[in-house]
Amino acid sequence: MLVAKIAGFLVVAVAIFAVIVEIFDKYNGYCKRKFGGFPFHPAAFLAVGLAGFTFWEGVLYYLDAVLKHKDMSDAFALLGLGGAGIALAWGICIRMTNVLHGTLITLTMLTVGTFLAPLTIMSLIGLVFGGLGGAGQVRYVERRRFWQDW
């Protein structure tokens, strides 16, 4: 029963992801016809997501620094870097489209990209350090009873 639940959740997750990708693809086609560019690009999602993640970490560092009466320079640096990245993405999206579409695109990329950026980073680290070579290795363990050593 657990396998059926997991398989069901995976099917639903893949279906939701496919619907989201299809919506972004249709919107990219609309923006290509109307404005001449593709605002939803995977690199843009990653960049805006990293900026949003950095900004959120700055908020968490700030709250921790306030509670523990520590130095706030790290928090301000993270807030500044994240905010600058978000503002830059917003400006680029407005320049590519118009104010309404640029704001909506930036907010969408910020919400979706903030969740995807850490997952992308973790999977890239896993590929670099773990590699794909260890996944196919078969290990055999010889089972011996305790009386076989005597």
| Confidence grade of residue 129 (pLDDT, cut at 50, 70, 90) | confident
Q: What is the pLDDT of residue 134?
A: 53
Q: What is the pLDDT of residue 75?
A: 92
The model's pLDDT over 8-39, given as tens digits with 9 standing for 90+, comes to 888 888 888 888 888 988 998 998 899 888 88
| Inter-residue contact 52 to 118 (CB < 8 Å) | no
Q: What is the pLDDT of residue 112?
A: 83
Q: What is the pLDDT of residue 141?
A: 62
The model's pLDDT over 46-82, given as tens digits with 9 standing for 90+, comes to 888 889 889 989 999 999 999 999 998 999 999 999 9
Q: What is the pLDDT of residue 20?
A: 84
| Structural tokens at position 116 | 């995807």
Global pTM?
0.68
The model's pLDDT over 78-122, given as tens digits with 9 standing for 90+, comes to 999 999 999 999 999 999 889 999 999 999 988 887 777 777 777
Where exactly are the structural domains of the chain?
2-128
